[in-house]
Amino acid sequence: MSRTAQDHFDVIIIGGSYAGMSAALQLVRARRSVLVIDSGLPRNRNSLEAHGFIGREGMHPAEIAAQARTELLTYPTVTWVEGKAASARVVEEGVSFEVDCDDGRTFAADRLVLAYGVTDTLPPVDGLAERWGRSVYHCPYCHGYELYEGNIGVLGCAKDGGVGQALLLCDWGKITLFCPDPGSIDPEKRERLDACGVVIESTRVQRVEDTATVVLADDRRVVLDALFLLPTSTLSCDLAEQLGCELMDAGCITADSAKQTTVPGVFACGDAGRMAGSIALAVGEGALVGVAVHRSLLGLLD
């Protein structure tokens, strides 16, 4: 490709949600040229309120993101592209990369930041998808406070049958654990569940209705204020693999303490680098990456 000056940037950030914008802010304040490529599909797009992020408590997630983007775009060295990064490659190890967008454009940079997040796959239960982020959740720290002393269900789709999430949620309400195989629960943890008053329901979940009412296979209805589960979460695209980055067993991108991946010059942050699902953690990691990338450009990253 014959590149013009505007096609080449100091840093390309793939993913313009909280982590990506936080990283970009550090870099543009260091007067570096930054391209943000964003598909416009944040993980929490179904949520009505964001919690646990100091200074923005209870705001709509889209409002937080829109304000952040407005602030970021006041800096003259940032370019925002709405679209999807389709492929990425190392041109010269540690110092040169190219990214192709799905509209045919190609951009080059000296460093890459992978902040494209993860995609959640829910269990095949009718009624879950339309309630996801509204009365069906995964993070008690984001949504538990508002449910205090309410009736909370845990759909046991995790590897441990939902036991860990059920024990965690006991601080927020009265818990019903929907677990099809109670006999598989570790005896010690079963004692802890019993001590917390967790009700274990082994009948298969058929569908979810109303706010979060669980309808069982025998047509019994368990009326709940909210339902929690741990979805299957996978990286939203395969750019890390294309670049040769190693992945952790959990599925996110392996990175060191500076969030540099196993490919020199490529960094990861947000849910792609830590499956935490927290705006506060994403913003913090983004800031860390922005500083680390700047130091890397200067040859100062240990």
Supply the CATH number for residue 139's domain. Answer: 3.50.50.60
Indicate the residue among 213, 228, 243 that finishes a domain.
228
pLDDT in tens, 92-125: 999 999 999 999 999 999 999 999 999 999 999 9
pLDDT score, position 3: 40
Residue 274: the pLDDT is 86
- Tens of pLDDT, residues 253-290: 999 999 999 999 999 999 999 877 899 999 999 999 99
Which residues are CB-neighbours of 140 under 8 A, at least 6 positions away? 165, 168, 169, 171, 172, 228
Residues 168 and 193: beta-carbon distance below 8 Å? no
Query: The tokens of 22 are what?
Result: 């936080």
152: left (phi over 0), alpha (psi -120 to 50) or beta: beta
pLDDT of residue 4: 43
Q: How many residues does the chain have?
A: 302
Domain boundary among 208, 228, 248: 228
Q: Are residues 109 and 186 both part of a single domain? A: no
Q: Rounded to two decimals, what is the model's pTM?
A: 0.93
Average pLDDT of every residue of the chain: 93
Cα 236 to Cα 7: distance, rounded to the nearest angstrom: 25
Count: domains in the chain = 2
pLDDT per residue over 12-50, tens digit each?
999 999 999 999 999 999 999 999 999 998 989 889 899
Examine residue 266 and state whether it is found in any structural domain, yes or no: yes
Among 228, 246, 269, identify where a domain stops: 228
pLDDT for 54 equals 93
Q: Is residue 302 part of a domain?
A: no
| pLDDT-based confidence at residue 302 (cuts at 50, 70, 90) | confident
Same domain, 132 and 275: no
Nearest Cα residue to 120 out of 279, 224, 282, 271: 271
Identity (one letter) of the amino acid at 88?
Answer: A
197 with 127, same domain?
A: yes
CB neighbour list of residue 144: distance below 8 Å, 6 or more residues apart: 169, 171, 172, 173
Domain shared by 56 and 97, yes or no: yes
262 with 206, same domain: the answer is: no
Q: Which range marks the domain in which residue 108 is found?
A: 5-119+232-297
Residue 258 lies in a domain: yes
Q: Which two tokens stand for residue 247?
A: 């992945």
What pLDDT does residue 157 have?
A: 65
Within a domain: 103: yes
Whether 131 and 194 share a structural domain:
yes
Taken in order 22, 250, 188, 164, is the CA torsion positive or negative? positive
pLDDT of 24 reads: 98
